[in-house]
A and B are shown apart, each in its own frame.
Chain A
């Protein structure tokens, strides 16, 4: 148990410090590397043969809607993970209670 606590505390601490360092010591416009790759390809004179067809269907997504959809995607994942942890924890408690009886 002590090992587990140490792993979780150390793990979250490292993630926190890394995130802090990135924000504090890095100057950037935080554009996406996916877009940077596309721009670099453009610099080579590459022209995509098919672009933005989806825009013709429902127009270019506003930033807020894009964020919302990314949040929905994250939520789907988080709900399933949370459900698993909840069920796991419930089973463990039920087993402990059975053994105590």
Chain B
């Protein structure tokens, strides 16, 4: 049941993202490189399985740049491309869980990151600090949402107590993720600073980027 639910939740964001992406490429072809760059960070960082303080491994998500520049819809599309690559070639994630993974990694986690970006940037912080917090929250919230999804599944499938399952899943996913989210925040923060010092005009894209996750304005 949850397989279908998460695909249904994902669908409007994904469709809005495809429409927005087509408009960006048609109306602003000069931004193709930034779009590719946004996807490249998701490709690179989500492939790096890193050890964490819990004695377990996990991977960053790399969605910070994509969501800050192009919003939730485009981020969902780019994340889905990476998730399909991993599901098809690595059996990592999988196709039946694609909707759930896209909702956590491509939609809700990055949406939280974008909200933080708008708040911190609006408060006058620089590119490094703003991107650090946006990437940190996007990464961490991805795994918090995953823990919620797993707990909901366990509650309905085997009548597990939701709160017990949630605490256990958060301890597995979210705690492991904290140091990795900090590392991701620093790396993307440094890249945002590099962009700001070399091509500050690029950040006009972020100002035009809407918080509305279903926005299709290019």
By a beta-carbon cutoff of 8 Å, the part of chain A in contact with chain B is: 4, 7-8, 11-12, 14-15, 18-19, 22-23, 26-34, 36-37, 40-41, 44-46, 50, 52, 54-55, 61, 66, 69-71, 73-74, 76-81, 84-85, 87-88, 92
In the complex, how many angstroms separate the beta carbon of A68 from the nearest chain B beta carbon?
Answer: 10
Is B67 positioned at the interface, with any CB of A under 8 Å from its CB?
no
Is B115 positioned at the interface, with any CB of A under 8 Å from its CB?
no
Given the contacts A46-B154, A50-B96, A69 and B90 also touching, CB distance less than 8 Å? yes
In the complex, how many angstroms separate the beta carbon of B156 from the nearest chain A beta carbon?
Answer: 10
Q: Which residue of A lies closest to B89 (CB)?
A: A69
Q: Is the CB of B57 within 8 A of A31?
A: yes
| Interface SS majority for chain A | helix
Q: How many A-B residue pairs have CB under 8 A?
A: 139
In the complex, how many angstroms separate the beta carbon of B208 from the nearest chain A beta carbon?
Answer: 20
Q: List 26 A-B contacts (CB under 8 A).
A: A7-B128, A7-B193, A11-B189, A11-B190, A19-B183, A26-B55, A31-B57, A33-B54, A33-B57, A34-B58, A36-B56, A36-B172, A41-B150, A41-B154, A52-B91, A66-B90, A73-B82, A73-B85, A76-B44, A77-B42, A77-B47, A77-B62, A78-B40, A80-B43, A81-B44, A92-B198
